Structure 1
Amino acid sequence: MLMSIMKTPGVYVVEKNAFPSSVVEVATAVPAFVGFTEKAENGNKSLLDKPWRIASMAEYHAYFGGAPAPAFTLSASEDGQKADLVSAYGRFNVTRETTFSLYYNMLLFFANGGGPCYVVSVGDYTSDPAADAFLGGINQLLREQEPTMLVIPEAVNLSSDGCKTVQEAMLKHCGYEMRSRFAIVDVFEGNKERTDPAGDVVNDFREYIGSNFLDFGAAYYPWLNTTLVQDGDLDYRSLSDIGPLKDLLKQEAEKSAIVGFSELVDGLEATKDDELTAEAKQVITTNHKILYQVSPIYRDILKEIRFKLNTLPPSAAMAGVFTLVDNSKGVWKAPANVSIAAVNSPCCTVSHAQQEDLNVPISGKAINAIRSFVGEGIKVWGARTLDGNSLDWRYINVRRTIIMIEESIKNAARAYVFDPNTANTWVSVRSMVSNFLTSVWKRGGLAGSTPDDAFSVHIGLGETMTPEDILEGIMRVTVLVAVVRPAEFIEITFQQQMQKS
C-alpha cells in the first residue's frame, strides 16, 4: 500500500529493496551446428530446418539418427595420377561418393568436452549438398538467443565458392546480425600441405574469407586424422560397387595357396543391413574377418577408407575445446595449449618457423595452428581471431569475454526499461553492473590488482548524458573493462656473470 493513499488511521508497513538487481551471467559455450543428418524428427514432429537443443550423442541419435553408410568407389589409377593404393596388382584410387560428415564431427565435439548444443538439420543423406541449404540453416538461428558459437564443418565439403559463401555468411551472422556469437571456421582443403602444387591453401583461405567481421571468427589449420572410425565399423560393403574389388581379390586368390579363397570371393554380395537377416549378417561378418586375415590388398583398401572417413576439419573439435576451457577455467582463458582428444595426428606438420606466417601474417588474418609436440601430444597452438592486426580484438578470449559481459549486462538492464531516468535509477544500475564486474574480476576475468583498476562504470547527467538525452528518454551507461590477455610470447633472458668465488 502506498503512502499517498493512506486515509484510515493505523500502522502501515512499507518494504524497500535494500539491494540492486543482479546480473545473471549468460552461458558462453553453447555451439550451434548446421548440417545434414540421417533424420530430423521428434516423434511425429519434423525438426527439419529447426534449431534443436541436445546435450549428448544419445540425444543426437534419438532426434537425428546415425552415421551415413560409407559409400566409396574403387577404380584403377590413370597414368601419371597420384594413387591411393599401390599394389602388385596395379595402382588404385578409393574415392568417397558422399560428403555427409556432421555425425562424425558431433562425435569429435563431444569427445573433446562438448556439452549442450543446438543442431539445425538442413536435409537428409539423400539431399544434394548446396550452400543455400546451409544459409537457410543460419537464418533459422536468428530466432534463438542461447547459442554462442556457430560451427558448420560440412561447409568444406562444398566447392571453393560454396565454402566461401557459407563462411562469409557465418561471420556476418555472428558479427552483424547477432553480435553475440563467435564463428569457428575451417580452412578449405586444409588437409593439404601449404607447398601443394595446386596452391597454398592458407593464402587461398585468406583471400576468399574477405575482411568483414573478422574479429567474430577464428580458423584452425591443419585438419585432423581422427580415431572415430575403427576397423570393426567397415567391411567390403563400404564400396558401393564391389565388382572391382572382387576382380582384384580374384587375381590375389589365383596367386595364393589358401584353400577356399577364390570361392569366398565369388560369394561376396553388397547387400545392406536393412535387407538382411541376422544369419546373413553373421555370414558377412565372417567373410569380412577371413578376408581381413588373408588378403593384404583388402586390408589396405579398408585402411584407406577408414583414413578418408577419419580425416575431419578441426572446427567441431575446437567447439568442444572452447566448451571444456569455458567450463573448467572461464571464458577469459584462451582456448589454447590444450590437447585434442580422439586424434592420431594433424594432417600436416607445422614447425615453429612455419607457424610464423600463420600467427603473424602481413594481412593480419591469423590462422591458429594445431601442432604435435613430442611427449605432449597434439595441442592447439594459437589463440587469435581472424582480425590479428587489431589490438582490441586480436585474441579469441577477449572477444568472447566481451560478448559475455555485454549480453549479461544487456539482459539485466531490461529490468530498468521505462523506470524513471533519475539519480535513484542511475545508482541502482551502477551498483548492479559494478557488483557483476567485481565477481568477474575476483574469478580472474579482468586485469588489475583492485576492482578500480579492472573496471569503471559511468552513468549520470553531465557524466554520460545531456539534458536532451533525458528529454528523449535515453539512459547512457559507459562501462570500461580491462580484459585479461594471454601471455602469447614469453621471453627469458640469459647472460653470464663474473665468477664471484
Structure 2
Amino acid sequence: MAGAYKTPGVYIVEKDAFPNSVVEVDTAVPAFIGYTEKAQNKGLSLINKPFSISSMAEYENYFGGAPNDSFKIKKLEAELAEKDKKSENTYFSENDVHYEIAQEGHRYYLYHSMKLFFQNGGGKCFIVSVGKFADKKIERSVFESALDELLKEQEPTMVVIPDAMSLGFGDCNTLQQLSLAHCGERMKNRFAILDVHQGYQDKNTAVADADEKNCITQFRNKLGTSFMAYGAAYYPWVNTSIVQVTDLRFTNFINLIDLKKILSDDIDLTMQAPNKKAEIKEIISKIPSGAEGEVADPEYNAEELHKSLFNLCPMYKNVLTVVQEKLNLLPPAAAMAGVYTRVDNSRGVWKAPANVSLSAVLSPVVNISHDDQEDLNVSTTGKSINAVRAFIGEGTLVWGARTLDGNSLDWRYINVRRTMIMLEESIRLATKAYVFEPNVDNTWITIKSMISNFLTSIWKRGGLAGASPEDAFSVHVGLGETMTAVDILEGIMRVTVLVALSRPAEFIEITFQQQMQKS
C-alpha cells in the first residue's frame, strides 16, 4: 500500500488476474479390505495400514499371491448324489459315479477379486490387509478396525470388502451396515459396493445360516434403513475365468488317500488296455498321501507327477476342472469397482455404470429373467438390488443402476449420488483457501465466480442437465441472499449451490399405433 512507502522510487505491485480454480477430485479410488498372503513393504508391516497400489504386480509385490485353497473329495452313494441346494459343496458325476468336493477352512476372496477388478478397468486403489491366510480365522472385528483406519485416508471414494462373504450371515450383515455408516455418516464422501451373502443361490431358494426365505429377502430385511443412498448391491455372483486349471495341483487336496483310490477306481472302470491301465495306476501310486509307513520315492517330483497325471488320467483333469469352477465363483462387487473406474475415466462419473459388459466373466451363476428382475429393481422396502444378467449375443451385462435407496427421488441412482459427492468434495477443497478471508463482497464474488466456472466446465462435458448453464446450475452467496448480518458477525459464510443432475433413462417407452393409409 502507498502508505507503507518510505523511500522515493518506483515500486512494482503484481495483482492476481484470475481467481482460484476448483480442481475435480478423483471419483474412482476404491479401498479393498481383506486377508492377504503377506503384508510387507521393505521390512515394515502393512497389516491394518491402507496402502496405495495401481496394478496387480504391485499387489503381489506387497501382499503376495493366491491363497492355497484346500479341498476334500469323497464318493457318494447314488441316493445322496442329488445336490443339496443349501450346501456350498460342489457335486458332480463321472461315469455314473457321484462325488462331492468340499472346501476345507475359509475361502479368501480378496486376491481373485483384485484380479477381477483390474480385468474390468480398475486402476489406483487402496488395500487394507486385516491379516494373513496363515491366521486361519476370519473375524468381523478386524474388518471394523480396518474401516476405522480408512478414516485417516482422504483419497478413497469406494469401499469393497470381498472377504465379508466368508463371514456368517449375521456378521456379514453387521459389517455391511458399518460400511454404509462409514461412507454416509462418518466420511460422507464414499460409496459402498455390496455383495449379497450367498448370492450364488437362486432367489427362490432358502439358504443356510439364516431364518429367511432366500438370500435376497434376508439381505433386505436385516440391512436396516440408514445411509442407503451411499451404497449399491449386486446379484447374482458370477462365473469367471480368473483361476486357470493349470494353477491347481493334487496338493490342493488334503485327503490324498481318498483321491488316489478314486482315481484308481475310475481307471479300473474306464480303461480297457491292461498295459496302459497298469502304467497310469503306477503313476497314481506315486502321489505321496502321508499315510503311516509310506516310503517316499527318492525321485519324487511334484510338478512332473502332476503333468503326467494331467495328460494320462482324464478323471484327474476333470476333478481339477471342477475345483477350478468352484474357485472361479466370485462375488461381483470387485468387478463393479472396476466398471465404475472404467466408466468414470471414459464417460464421467455422471454416466450410470450400467449396460456395461463384464470382462473375465463367463456368466452369472443364476439366470435372471425380466420378471425376476422386477422385484430386484423395484421393491416396497426401497432396497433396490442391481442385476447382473446374460443376454444373447452381448455377454454378461450390468443391468441396474440404483442405490439401495431405490424409493428416493433424490438419491435413487448411483451416478446421481456419486456425482454429488464429486461436486461437494471438489468445491469444499477449493473453498478452503478462503477460510479466514474477509467475509465481504469481494470474497463472495470471487467464490461465486470460482464455483460457477467449475460447474460450467462440468455442464459442457455433459455432467449437468440443461440447455444452458443458467438452466443447469446457480450459485448464491451474499448478505440478504444467503446470509444475515448475524451470520457475518458470527463469522459464517453461507454459499448455496443448485445443480440439475442428469439421470439415466432407465425405462424407455416406444409407442406404436396404426394409422390410415395415405396413398
Q: What is the TM-score normalised by the length of structure 2? A: 0.92
Q: Distance in 2 between matches of 1:485 and 1:231?
A: 43
Q: What displacement does 1:375 show?
A: 0.6
Q: Is 2:257–2:289's contact at 8 Å kept on the other side of the alignment?
A: no
* Corresponding residue of 2:448: 430
Are 2:111 and 1:103 aligned? yes
Is the partner of 2:134 in helix, strand or coil?
coil
Quick one: which amino acid aligns to residue 213 of structure 1?
A: F
Of the three residues 155, 166, 177, the one matched with 1:157 is 166
* Mapped partners of 1:168, 1:45: distance in 2: 32
> Residues 283 and 308 of structure 2 are in contact (CA less than 8 Å); yes or no, is this contact kept in structure 1?
no
Q: 2:118 is aligned with what amino acid?
A: F
5+ residue gaps, structure 2: 84-90, 208-212, 291-297
**Corresponding position of 2:248:** 234
Given the alignment, which residue of 231, 236, 239 partners 1:222? Answer: 236
Once the two structures are superposed, the pairs formed by residues 275-294 of structure 1 within 5 Å of their partners are 283-294=301-312
162, 185, 189: which one aligns with 1:176: 185
Q: What corresponds to 1:26 in structure 2?
A: 25
Which residue of structure 1 aligns with residue 120 of structure 2?
112
SS in 2 for 1:184: strand
- Give, in angstroms, the shift of residue 133 of structure 1: 1.1
Q: Mark the CA change 1:381 to 1:467 in structure 2 (over 3 Å): closer, same or farther.
A: same
Give the Å deviation of 1:284: 2.9
1:264 pairs with one of 267, 277, 283: 283
Give, in angstroms, the shift of residue 241 of structure 1. 2.3
Matched, 1:133 2:142: yes
**How far is the alpha carbon of 1:6 from its aligned partner?**
1.9
- 1:468 paired with 2:467, answer no
SS at match of 2:197: coil
Structure 1 unaligned residues grouped into runs of 5+: 272-278
Q: Which residue of 2 aligns with 1:52?
A: 51
Output the CA distance in 2 between the equivalents of 1:371 and 1:90.
33
Task: Report if the CA contact (8 A) 1:438-1:451 is conserved.
Answer: yes
C-alpha distance 360-44 of structure 1, shift in aligned 2 (>3 A): same
Tell me which moved more, 87-96 or 238-247. 87-96
Kept in 2: contact 1:89–1:251 (CA 8 A): no
Do structure 1's residue 386 and structure 2's residue 404 form an aligned pair? yes
Residue 443 (structure 1) aligned with residue 461 (structure 2): yes
SS in 2 for 1:354: helix
Q: Per-residue displacement from partner, 1:412-438 (whole Å, max 9, x unpaired)?
A: 000000000000100000001001000
Structure-2 residue corresponding to 1:406:
424
- What amino acid is the match of 2:128? V
TM-score (ref. length: structure 1): 0.95
| Residue of structure 2 in register with 1:202 after alignment | 216
Looking at structure 2, the residues matched to 17 and 87 of structure 1 have their Cα atoms a distance apart, in angstroms, of 79
- Percent identity reads 54
Q: Which residue of 1 aligns with 2:329?
A: 311
Report the secondary structure of 2:33's partner residue: strand
One-letter code aligned to 2:183: C
**2:81 and 2:98 in contact (8 A); partners too:** no
CA deviation string 1:175-199 (max 9, x = no partner)? 0000010000000000010121433
Q: Look up the match of 1:40.
A: 39
- 1:244 is matched with which residue? 258
State the shift of 1:475 in Å.
Answer: 0.3
Change (3 A) 1:448 1:117: same
> Does the 8 Å contact 1:171/1:214 carry over to 2?
yes
- Give the conservation status (yes or no) of the 8 Å contact 2:75–2:262: no
Cα deviation code 1:140-195 (max 9, x no counterpart):
10000000000001101110011111111100000000001000000000001012
- Secondary structure, counterpart of 1:250 in structure 2: helix
- Count the aligned residue pairs: 492
Using the alignment, how far apart are the partners of 1:123 and 1:285 within structure 2? 30
8 Å Cα contact 2:403-2:414 kept in structure 1: yes
Q: 1:82 to 1:154 in 2, by over 3 A?
A: farther
Which one-letter code corresponds to 1:493 in the other structure? T
Q: Secondary structure at the match of 2:498?
A: strand
Q: Secondary structure at the match of 1:353?
A: helix
**Per the alignment, in what secondary structure is the counterpart of residue 283 of structure 2?**
helix
Give the partner amino acid of 1:71.
Answer: S
For the structure 1 residues 119 and 467, does the alpha-carbon distance in structure 2 shift closer, same or farther, using more than 3 Å as the test?
same
Report Cα offsets for 1:430-480 as digits up to 9, x if no partner.
001001000100110000011000000000000000111001000000000
Query: Is contact 1:31–1:150 with CA below 8 Å preserved after alignment?
Result: yes
Give the deviation of 1:89 after TM superposition: 7.3
| Residue number in structure 1 paired with 2:101 | 94
Report the Cα distance in structure 2 between the residues aligned to 1:457 and 1:246, rounded to whole angstroms: 74
Structure 2 residue matching 1:345: 3-state secondary structure = strand
CA–CA distance in structure 1, aligned partners of residues 96 and 235 of structure 2: 36
The answer (yes or no) to whether the contact 1:32–1:151 under 8 Å persists in 2 is yes
Give the drift of 1:303.
1.7
Cα offset for 1:249? 1.6
Question: CA separation in 2, counterparts of 1:87 and 1:230?
Answer: 21
Residue 351 (structure 2) aligns with: 333
* Alignment check: 8 A CA contact 1:236 1:270 kept: no
In structure 2, what is the Cα distance between the partners aligned to 1:100 and 1:211?
29
Q: Which amino acid aligns with 1:269?
A: P
What code does the residue aligned with 1:361 have? S
Contact 1:85 1:300 in 2 (8 A): no
